[in-house]
């Protein structure tokens, strides 16, 4: 047997998968799956490039040349000739709203509506499909696509749908618009005060609600929206898993874990239906639910399902003008954004939850919000001790130039979503001006300052497809075509760096680097095969790349048809 194979197999044996004695015989373990004749970018610095991978019992058995690894093929081995195609570790998405994504797949689509009329007509068509009394929800509208960029209103929706409840959300999730029927059902009128952490948009010159509710104000309606049935949730999650497999996502962070979705994931696991590995995030302010059970970071149910992480919020979003900045917004000097949670309560909660051993991830968008959160994390480290907190800032979109070294010094992970740069880049300068945008979505600055950076989508805020994320990070070409050479091109990164952010760095941010993130013997056999070699093709061609195969645990869960 080739010495390289012996070494690889020895590593695998130490991992607990087979006996070294049997590996040294001619009747050595035979692979269940053998991938040959490929270009394998392993994201493993000890062996960056290979031709072949052998898989046994869901884990990587060996990595090397095709000539060497064919010795591991037996009568029952499935052999896949990659014919020179690029094989990467499976993509890991650092931030999804997975149930919402599954629901969105069958819901109304509003984001690319080109004006108010098309927005209304799509609502009307969706209404005609639904049974009496059913709500129209989600939608992910984008008023910045419309001439004039005016916010939608209840009166606008009433022109098209007035006889059923409509409550549709802007694509960033930080504001929604209701029709008049919903405002009445929720009891929102001129006498309703803005709730803490939220804003009720009013009609000009009046206290009457216009229809849009920002951040915490959305809860005034969400509390009366009927809960989906368990069957509806199951169908949405199954659809979301199919979409993940289609785009090569083999692991993800679900930022909206509930007891219901956790129960369904467990059912799927028992029934063998899981095709993506899920790390669920519990609401930060309910951290005691997990702590009382003795759960801490990195608590796994096998290799498919994990809890022990928390998700909280500092501020809102740039598109809703609720992200928290040091200086006022350009288009509205009356505001610099908002804290969506009381800052002192949030501070105490983060420090207490960290002391229990849970993993903290908190949403922060504006430069002031990020600086506040870095300071809180520093206090938590001082109060609780320890050296491996791996605090995460979700989105980390707009960073004050002084704070990059603070990220690195504290070991705080920037969990960013690169597609936001090419989407928000259409209008971000109108909100906060040119100067602040120099360190907006600052991918290059993070890496150059030694900050651990991971990638994801924030689906459904942005598409789940990691190829679109890689394209965004590498080209920074805004989706309106206005920046063909890149929006603030000095913040571009390389394809190799983008791949690592979607794989090994993402695994590190979830305490999973020991089992995933690279094509390394002993790790989980989660891999994707791409239609193009994104490492060598022109950067502007990356966006046309497709996933040909998605492999999870050594099983093909997606194969692109002809």
Work out the percent of the chain whose per-residue pLDDT is above 90. 90
Distance CA(469)–CA(248), nearest Å, equals: 12
Q: How far is CA 3 from the centre of its chain?
A: 41
Supply the pLDDT for residue 171: 87
Give tens-digit pLDDT for 135-148: 999 888 999 999 99
Q: Is residue 197 part of a domain?
A: yes
The answer to whether position 272 is within a domain reads: no
pLDDT of residue 562: 62
Rounded mean pLDDT, 370-380:
98
d(CA 471, CA 544): 9
What is the per-residue pLDDT across 479-489, written as a single tens digit (0 to 9) for each? 999 999 999 99
Q: Is residue 132 part of a domain?
A: yes
Check if the beta carbon of residue 213 is closer than 8 Å to that of residue 239. no
pLDDT of res. 297: 84
87 domain residue, yes or no: no
pLDDT of residue 338: 96
Distance between CA atoms of 340 and 416, rounded to whole angstroms?
20
Residue 27's pLDDT is 54
Phi, psi at 288, each rounded to 5°: -65, -25
Query: Which helix (H) or strand (E) covers residue 22, if one does?
Result: helix 20-23
Q: Please, which pLDDT band fits residue 9 given cuts at 50, 70 and 90?
A: very low
Compute the distance between CA of residue 35 and CA of residue 270 in angstroms, rounded to an integer: 28
User: Beta-strand (E) ranges in 396-433?
Assistant: 413-416
**How many beta carbons lie within 10 A of that of residue 59, not counting itself?**
23
Residue 175 domain flag: yes
Number of domains in the chain: 1
384-389-390 Cα angle (round to 5)? 155
User: What pLDDT is attached to residue 4?
Assistant: 47
With beta carbons less than 8 A apart as the criterion, state whether 198 and 216 touch: yes
Specify burial of residue 294 (Cβ count, 10 A radius: 0-12, 13-18, 19+). Answer: exposed
Predicted pLDDT of residue 104:
92
Tell me the pLDDT band of 301, cut-offs 50, 70 and 90: confident
Lowest mean pLDDT among 17-26, 27-36, 183-192, 195-204: 17-26
Mean pLDDT to the nearest integer, 7-25: 40
First to last CA, the chain: 38
Q: State mean pLDDT over 280-285.
A: 97
Local confidence band at 373 (pLDDT 50, 70, 90 cut-offs): very high
Task: Read off the pLDDT of residues 411-425 as tens digits, 9 standing for 90 and up.
Answer: 999 999 999 999 999
- The answer as to whether 136 is a domain residue is yes
Query: Tell me, what's the pLDDT at 561?
Result: 84
Note whether residue 121 is domain-resident.
yes
Sign of the dihedral defined by the CA atoms of residues 189, 193, 197, 202, in that order: positive
Q: Return the biggest CA–CA distance within the chain.
A: 85
Asked if residue 6 has pLDDT above 90, the reply is no
Contacts 24+ apart (CB under 8 A), 268-275: 268/237, 268/238, 269/301, 269/302, 269/304, 269/305, 273/238, 273/241, 274/241, 274/304, 274/305, 275/241, 275/242, 275/244, 275/245, 275/552, 275/557
How far apart are alpha carbons 6 and 4 in whole angstroms? 5
CATH (domain of 173): 3.10.310.70
Residue 104 — φ and ψ, nearest 5°? -60, -35
Write the CB contacts of 35 (distance below 8 Å, at least 6 apart in sequence). 52, 53, 54, 55, 80, 82, 87, 527, 529
Q: What value does the mean pLDDT take over residues 443-472?
A: 97
Inside any domain, residue 524: no
**Residue span of the structural domain in which 162 resides:** 101-222
How many Å apart are CA 419 and CA 472, to the nearest integer? 5
> Which residues does 426 contact at the CB level (< 8 Å), separation at least 6?
144, 478, 479, 480, 482
């Amino acid at each position: 047997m080739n010495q390289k194979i012996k070494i690889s197999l020895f590593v695998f044996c130490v991992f607990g998968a087979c006996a070294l004695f049997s590996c040294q015989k001619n009747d050595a373990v035979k692979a269940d799956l053998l991938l040959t004749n490929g270009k394998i970018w392993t994201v493993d610095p000890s062996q960056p490039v290979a031709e072949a991978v052998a898989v046994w019992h869901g884990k990587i058995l060996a990595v090397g040349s095709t000539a060497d690894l064919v010795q591991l093929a037996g009568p029952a081995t499935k052999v896949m000739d990659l014919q020179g195609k690029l094989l990467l570790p499976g993509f890991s998405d650092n931030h999804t709203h997975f149930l919402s994504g599954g629901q969105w797949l069958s819901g109304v689509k509003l984001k690319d509506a080109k004006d108010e009329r098309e927005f209304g007509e799509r609502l009307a068509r969706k209404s005609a499909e639904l049974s009496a009394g059913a709500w129209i929800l989600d939608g992910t509208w984008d008023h910045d696509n419309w001439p004039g960029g005016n916010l939608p209103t209840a009166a606008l929706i009433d022109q098209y749908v007035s006889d059923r409840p409509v409550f549709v959300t802007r694509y960033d999730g930080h504001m929604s618009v209701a029709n008049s029927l919903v405002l009445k059902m929720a009891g929102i009128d001129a006498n309703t005060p803005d709730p803490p952490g939220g804003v009720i948009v009013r009609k000009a010159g009046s206290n009457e609600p216009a229809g849009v509710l920002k951040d915490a104000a959305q809860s005034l309606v969400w509390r009366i929206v009927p809960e989906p049935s368990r069957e509806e949730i199951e169908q949405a999650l199954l659809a979301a898993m199919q979409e993940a497999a289609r785009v090569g996502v083999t692991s993800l962070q679900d930022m909206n874990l509930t007891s219901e979705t956790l129960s369904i994931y467990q059912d799927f696991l028992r029934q063998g239906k899981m095709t993506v590995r899920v790390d669920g995030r519990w609401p930060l302010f309910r951290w005691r639910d997990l702590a009382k059970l003795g759960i801490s970071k990195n608590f796994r149910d096998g290799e498919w399902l994990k809890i022990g992480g928390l998700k909280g919020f500092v501020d809102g979003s740039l598109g809703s003008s609720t992200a928290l900045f040091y200086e006022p917004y350009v288009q509205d000097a009356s505001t610099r954004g908002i804290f969506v949670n009381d800052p002192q309560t949030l501070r105490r909660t983060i420090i207490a939850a960290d002391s229990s051993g849970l993993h903290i991830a908190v949403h922060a968008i504006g430069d002031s919000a990020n600086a506040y959160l870095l300071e809180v994390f520093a206090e938590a480290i001082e109060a609780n001790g320890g050296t491996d907190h791996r605090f995460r800032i979700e989105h980390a979109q707009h960073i004050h130039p002084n704070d990059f070294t603070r990220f690195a010094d504290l070991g705080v992970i920037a969990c960013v979503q690169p597609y936001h740069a090419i989407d928000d880049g259409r209008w971000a300068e109108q909100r906060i001006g040119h100067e602040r945008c120099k360190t907006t979505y600052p991918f290059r600055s993070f890496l150059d300052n030694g900050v651990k950076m991971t990638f994801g989508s924030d689906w459904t805020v942005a598409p789940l497809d990691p190829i679109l994320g890689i394209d965004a990070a590498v080209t920074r070409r805004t989706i309106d075509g206005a920046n063909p050479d890149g929006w603030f091109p000095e913040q571009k990164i390389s394809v190799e760096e983008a791949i690592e952010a979607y794989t090994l760095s993402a695994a590190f941010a979830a305490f999973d680097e020991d089992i995933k993130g690279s094509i390394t013997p002993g790790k989980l056999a989660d891999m994707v095969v791409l239609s193009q070699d994104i490492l060598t093709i022109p950067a502007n061609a990356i966006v046309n790349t497709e996933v040909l195969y998605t492999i999870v645990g050594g099983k093909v869960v997606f194969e692109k048809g002809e």
